[in-house]
Amino acid sequence: MLDAFCRAKAGELRWYARVKHRLALTVQCENGHRFDMESRRIWEGQWCRHCRRKLTDETVGAFSLDRSCLLRREFKSRSKTPKLDLQCMICGTEWSPWTNNFVYARSGCPRCSSSVAERAIRDIVENLLNLPFPRVRPDWIRNAAGNPLELDGLAWPHAPLALEVQGGHHEGDRSTWHGIQLTDEKLATVCVHDDTKRKVCRESGIYLLEIPVVKNLRDDRLREFVALCVWDAAQICQDEARACYREGNVDLGNSFFEAARILASPFETVST
């Protein structure tokens, strides 16, 4: 997934290694600069420090307008203005993000960003696969308390596919889209719900396509990143189908093979 993200940004993942609980990377950007960074920083939207623009009140103001925000206080420098005062032009929300997060991680209005990111990725997947993925709470996926869990998209009965758009908190980041810091208990609950969705979808013969939100990807690069995620998922799903056949579970294997065929259809034919 990280390799796909780097390629979507016209970069290349040159090296990686797990260091304790972190994944250390060496990346080469599209301009040939090499830099070291932890994987979590990449998902937060950080990139090559050599290619960063010099920030002025004018450039920060332009960044703000580009994301439908008003800069409510003059920007002087990153040292003198470590946080910005912004107001969303769409919903009116006022918030104060860290300057680096807003500019380089492309964070936006905490109220609007979650629905915008999810909708953008869902639209790309629907157009790519030519299938509807409406958000649903199916009766057959429930948490420990018996309440239905929500899927960001479900193509069934048209295809054995479901969709989850994963924010950073699904990868262990305590910060949600809305800027809320999750407690250990709530973070654990998110992980349990994710595992439940994966388990129940698999048992039902539905492949759960999971696509992470990367804050600084949009337009063509976002479309390319989503396409790479779909292609990778097609290969994983095909392997899952073959594993089911080896185990003698023909019905489940057929379902996953059909899902793999659909996922790979925009690119090439899946072979048996």
Asked whether the beta carbons of 2 and 13 are under 8 A apart, the reply is: yes
- The percentage of the chain sitting over the pLDDT mark of 90, rounded to a whole number, equals 39
Q: Is 121 buried (19+), middle (13-18) or exposed (0-12) by CB count in 10 A?
A: buried
Q: Is 230 buried (19+), middle (13-18) or exposed (0-12) by CB count in 10 A?
A: buried
**Structure tokens belonging to residue 84:** 């910005």
**Residue of higher predicted confidence among 207 and 184:** 207
**Structure tokens belonging to residue 163:** 């969709």
Q: How many residues are listed for the chain in this entry?
A: 272
Give the tens place of pLDDT for each residue, 65-88.
877 888 888 887 767 768 888 998
Predicted TM-score of the model (pTM): 0.63
**Structure tokens belonging to residue 180:** 């809320």
Q: Which of 92, 91, 8, 17 has the alpha carbon at shortest distance from 47?
A: 8
Give the tens place of pLDDT for each residue, 213-252.
876 677 888 899 999 999 999 999 999 999 999 999 999 9
pLDDT at 169: 47
Half-sphere exposure of 215 (CA within 13 A, CB side): 25
Calculate the average pLDDT of the chain: 83
Instruction: Round to whole Å and give the CA distance between 90 and 145.
Output: 37
Which of 173-177, 188-192, 210-214, 268-272 is the least confident region? Answer: 173-177
Give the tens place of pLDDT for each residue, 25-49.
888 888 888 888 887 777 666 777 7
Residue 54 has pLDDT above 70, yes or no: no
Give the tens place of pLDDT for each residue, 93-134.
888 888 877 776 566 777 776 667 788 899 999 999 999 999
Residue 174 has pLDDT above 60, yes or no: no
Cis-peptide, bond into residue 157, ω within 30° of zero: yes
pLDDT at 272: 47
Instruction: Round to whole Å and give the CA distance between 143 and 6.
Output: 35
H/E stretch holding 28: strand 22-28
